[in-house]
Amino acid sequence: MLFGRGKKNPIKIADKGVVDWRYTTCGYCSTGCSMEIGLDKSGIPVATRGVGGADVNQGKLCTKGIFEHELFRTDGRGAQPLIRDRYYESFQECSWDTALDKTASEIQRIQDTWGRDSFAIVSTGQIMTEEFYTLGKLTRGVIGTNHYDGNTTLCMASAVSGYKRSFGSDGPPGCYDDFEHTECLMAIGSNLPEQHPIIFWRLHEALEKRKFPIIVVDPRVTMFAQMADIHLPVTPGTDVVLLNALAHVILDEGLEDRAYIDAHTSDAAAFEKLVEQYDPISSSRICGIDEDTIRHVARTYARAGSAMTIWTMGINQSTHGSDGVVGINNLNLITGNIGKPGGTSLSITGQCNAMGTREWSSCSGLPGYRKLESAEDRKQIADFWGIDEDFFPRERGMFQTDIFPAIESGQIKGMWLIATNPMTSMPNTPRIRKMLEKLEFLVVQDVYRDVETNEYSHVFLPAAVWAEKEGCFTNTERRVNLTRNVCEPYANSKPDLWIFNQLAKRFKRDRKPHFPNTAEEVFEELRALSKGRMLDYSGMTWDKIEQQRGIQWPCTDGDESGAARLYTDGQFQWDDGRARLIPLSFVDNNETPDEDYPFWMNSGRVVEHFHTRTKTGKIGNLNKFSPTPYMEMNPDAARELGVEHGSYARLTSRRGDAVVMVQLTHRVAPNMVFIPFHFHECVNRLSLGLLDPYSRQPAFKQCAVKIEMAVDQDAAAVTNVAARTY
Ligand code: SF4
């Protein structure tokens, strides 16, 4: 029993009747919190608590994690495979054999008719690493389509691309422990307290022990900006200009780490020549930050003994997201802030296992950061899997954001979607709907039968959720965590690994890889394939991972634990061992506000919801705390348009319109509005989604809209409710 103020009204924590606590890892975000699920005497999950000894969260959980035990028995779960009737109107329940036979035969029919690459596969950041690896083996080694990607293209593709361009490989160099050592932290486009509350708590703990400056770059006065020492309300889409200007000041004033540049980087001369053009005065006219502040921030960052930059979607989801990441890496390379405690570039990842898909899914290459373009890498994997090397393509296929338009052009005829929901997550919803309707065959594999995209499927495969299965997730700081299963799969749903293995049996190939039955056996393949590589798992076992509450890679054979940081020796993954300093010219290619559409529309997350609300939209308390699509709008702008707090407004872009509830706040500038991206038929009816040329990630965060009061407020309320209802 706890006591409230004055000890008059004791707060009672209900006894949930837990008889057994089971260890697992949170299945929402990439923080990687260790948790225990409490089971009652009937084996029903009834409670969740954090694990005190876990390095990542030390017993804490955010509001999503606290209610995660409710996920197992929420409405809308897929209980049985479904197949459309012959008129493609309604779903009928069917056996697993029927659903899997139909799926395999349709994939083969489409490939036989239209070619191997006419069938596309798009997966997720949500399933286990062992499942990603198995899906990659099935796709690359058996089905053989090259148009295979993950929904991580909507989220982390720019970070991946930027790391590869600068360092020669993907892989976040830093870790949470860097907060304990840094002397200056800059966050760009990252509202850490709401997006990643437990990582924020780690930062806050470090700040309580030792004061160091926090600089937040964000067009909106986010919760993070409110506690920052310096807030830079940058003009949307101009991060590269700001980063070049910071580099300009550092080089101009001789604040760079010349010894590090000379020893560990290449192409410095071209980079330095380019940033000469980005003096603070000219840059301030583009990025909206005054010249004195640019100079002050550059000096603060460069003079710190160690400095780090973290970022999330504010950088990645842009027409130059990859350049933004490279710009951050440039800044850290010229100041010698890579691979040392407190000095790093650290992308804060989104989904619980977005890192696992990057490492092992084979979406953009082959397992263990191997490249399709490398003959040696193709041979290693072909030999390991026991297949013909010529079966592999010589370069990666389309990204998710190019796969969908290829349905329009007739290049893609069939698709398999795994734990992803493009009807809510992709830009320009009306266009996505038409694309899905055009497919000859769509199979949706998901935990929930009521996921919006399932309306367009021909077959639905019900998957087990999160801790109904076992396997690993890799978190933001390269920590491999173990998710133990705490209960059996719901009804007749099945683990994704089982589904992949059953489908593999249905394809005939002369030489086929072996598909192990258990996830732990699959993990042994990961250990073998990663031995001696940067991404080394060979020193890990499942038991060891559980005992240590996660192990960071690389963890080489014989090591007791993993490595906290990459590139500590200044050796990078390019052939010459040097990191690239890359000149970045700013290209102003985005949609910007004009007379017809005078407001910037920015989008982001709220703490209560995760991505398209497929899971959190079904948790009572999370919906109660964040029930409805809303828009943050500046009171001065609202007054001019006659828009009132708590009323409904219609936003219109060149793509479509959406109705949202108005919340007036000075967190946004008069020419900007902010809307959470989680709700169906909302933000992505408006977004444009121009793509980054390197990462193919959409610019979700920057488009232009106009605003008017909804004429019929009652009808608007109904539309608004529809956007949040399952
Ligand atoms: Fe789960 Fe992320 Fe919350 Fe931790 S911070 S409990 S990993 S949602």
Contact 295, 249 (CB under 8 A): yes
Give 329-360 as a 3 state SS string: HHHHHHCCCCCECCEEEEECCCECCHHHHHHH
Q: Where residue 236 sits, what CATH number does that domain have?
A: 3.40.228.10
Tens-place pLDDT, residues 578-605: 999 999 999 888 889 999 999 999 987 7
Q: For ligand 1, what atom is nearest to the CA of residue 56? A: 4
Q: What pLDDT score does 151 carry?
A: 85
Which pTM was predicted?
0.93
- Average pLDDT of the segment spanning 664-669: 95
Binning pLDDT at 50, 70 and 90, where does residue 2 land? very low
Regarding whether 468 and 450 lie in a shared domain, the answer is: yes
Residue 334 has pLDDT above 80, yes or no: yes
* Residue 202 and residue 264 share a domain: yes
pLDDT at 600: 93
pLDDT at 491: 96
Residue 366 belongs to a domain: no
Q: Which of 478, 504, 519 is the last residue of a domain?
A: 519
Confidence of residue 623 (pLDDT cuts 50, 70, 90): confident
Q: Are residues 167 and 311 in the same domain?
A: yes
* Structural contact between residues 697 and 317, judged by C-beta atoms closer than 8 angstroms: yes
With 50 as the cut, is the pLDDT of residue 726 above it? no
Ramachandran quadrant class, 661 (left: phi over 0; alpha: psi -120 to 50; beta: rest): beta
Q: Are the beta carbons of 247 and 331 closer than 8 angstroms?
A: yes
How confident is residue 7, by pLDDT bands cut at 50, 70 and 90? Answer: low
Closest to 386 in 3D by CA, of 507, 523, 512, 510:
512
Find the range with the poorest average confidence among 91-95, 469-473, 618-622, 656-660: 618-622
| Domain shared by 327 and 379, yes or no | no
Asked, for residue 230, whether it belongs to a domain, the answer is yes
Instruction: Answer whether residue 141 shows pLDDT above 70.
Output: yes
User: What atom in ligand 1 is closest to the CA of residue 50?
Assistant: 6
Q: What tens digit of pLDDT does each residue of 445-476 get?
A: 999 999 989 999 999 999 999 999 999 999 99
Q: Distance from the CA of 63 to the center of ligand 1, in angstroms?
A: 8
Residue 681 has pLDDT above 80, yes or no: no
Ligand 1 mutation pick, 29, 55, 202, max ligand atoms within 8 A of CB: 29
Q: What is the mean pLDDT of residues 119-136?
A: 96
Tell me, yes or no, whether 101 and 161 share the same domain.
Answer: no
Report the number of distinct structural domains present in the chain. Answer: 4
Q: Do the domain assignments include residue 497?
A: yes
Distance 546 CA to ligand 1 centre (A): 18
Q: What is the CATH number of the domain that holds 33?
A: 2.20.25.90
Both 123 and 200 in one domain: the answer is no
Rounded distance, CA 713 to CA 272, Å?
A: 56
> pLDDT digits over 391-420, tens only?
999 999 999 999 999 999 999 999 999 999
| d(CA 197, ligand 1 centre) in Å | 7
Residue 13, pLDDT > 80, answer no
CA of 160 to the centre of ligand 1 (A): 22
Task: Using the predicted structure, report yes or no on whether residue 153 has a pLDDT greater than 90.
Answer: no
Looking at the fold, whether 205 and 259 belong to one and the same domain comes out as: yes
- Tokens 């232009």 sit at which residue? 704
Ligand 1 mean position, distance from CA 25 (Å):
9
> Residue 61 C-alpha to ligand 1 middle, in angstroms?
6
71 with 466: CB under 8 angstroms? Answer: yes
- pLDDT at residue 620 in the model: 78
Q: Which atom of ligand 1 is nearest to the CA of 66?
A: 6
Q: Give me the pLDDT at residue 87, please.
A: 60
| Residue of the CA atom closest to atom 3 of ligand 1 | 62
**CB-based contacts of 208, cutoff 8 Å, min separation 6:** none
For residue 57, give the ligand 1 atom closest to its CA: 4
What residue owns the CA closest to ligand 1's atom 4?
A: 33
* Residue 8 lies inside a defined structural domain of this protein: no
Last residue of a domain, one of 519, 537, 565: 519
In the reported structure, the alpha carbon of residue 196 is separated from the centroid of ligand 1 by a whole-number distance in angstroms of 7
47 and 215 Cβ atoms separated by less than 8 Å: no
302 and 442 share one domain: no
- The residue segments making up the domain with residue 67 are 20-73
The answer to whether position 554 is within a domain reads: no
Residues 172 and 232 grouped into a single domain: yes
Mean pLDDT of 508-527: 94
pLDDT band at 41 (very low <50, low <70, confident <90, very high): very high
pLDDT, residue 561, reads: 92
Q: Which atom of ligand 1 is nearest to the CA of 27?
A: 1
Residue-wise pLDDT for 193-209, tens only, equals 988 999 999 999 999 99
Taking only the tens place, the pLDDT of each residue in 272-326 is: 999 999 999 999 999 999 999 999 999 999 999 999 999 998 898 888 999 999 9
> Which of 108-117, 558-567, 693-702 is least confident?
693-702
Pocket test for ligand 1, best of 24, 25, 31 (most atoms within 8 A of CB): 31
As a whole number of angstroms, the distance between CA 321 and CA 694 comes to 9
352-381 tens-digit pLDDT: 999 999 999 999 899 999 999 999 999 999
Taking alpha carbons only, the member of 171, 350, 330, 163 closest to residue 242 is 330
What confidence category does residue 1 fall into, taking pLDDT thresholds of 50, 70 and 90? very low
Q: Residue 490 pLDDT > 80, yes or no? A: yes
Q: Given this model, what pLDDT does residue 280 score?
A: 98
- Which of 487, 519, 551 lies at the terminal end of a domain, its last residue? 519
Residue 574 lies in a domain: no
Quote the ligand 1 centre to 155 CA distance (angstroms). 17
Does residue 540 sit within a domain? no
* For residue 570, pLDDT beyond 90: yes
> What's residue 624's pLDDT?
80
Share of the chain above pLDDT 90, in %: 78
Cα–ligand 1 centroid distance for 605 (angstroms): 14
Domain at 709, CATH number = 2.40.40.20
Report the CATH number at residue 456: 3.40.50.740
Are residues 398 and 505 part of one domain?
A: yes
* 28 Cα nearest atom in ligand 1: 8
Assigned domain for 563 exists: no
Q: What is the pLDDT of residue 508?
A: 87
Share of the chain above pLDDT 70, in %: 97
Instruction: Check pLDDT > 80 for residue 145.
Output: yes
Based on C-alpha coordinates, what's the Rg of the chain?
Answer: 25
| Rounded (10°) angle between helices 129-138 and 519-530 | 80
Quick one: which atom of ligand 1 is closest to the CA of 196?
A: 5
Strands laid side by side in the 185-188 sheet = 230-232, 214-217, 185-188, 308-311, 344-347
Pocket of ligand 1 (CB under 6 A): 26, 28-29, 31-33, 57, 61-62, 64-65, 196-198
Cα separation, 80 vs 462, whole angstroms: 6
Instruction: For 217-243, give the secondary structure using H, E and C.
Output: ECCCCCHHHHCCCEEECCCCCCHHHHH
Give yes or no: residues 257 and 281 share one domain: yes
Structure token digits, residue 257: 């780490």
Query: Do 58 and 144 share a domain, yes or no?
Result: no
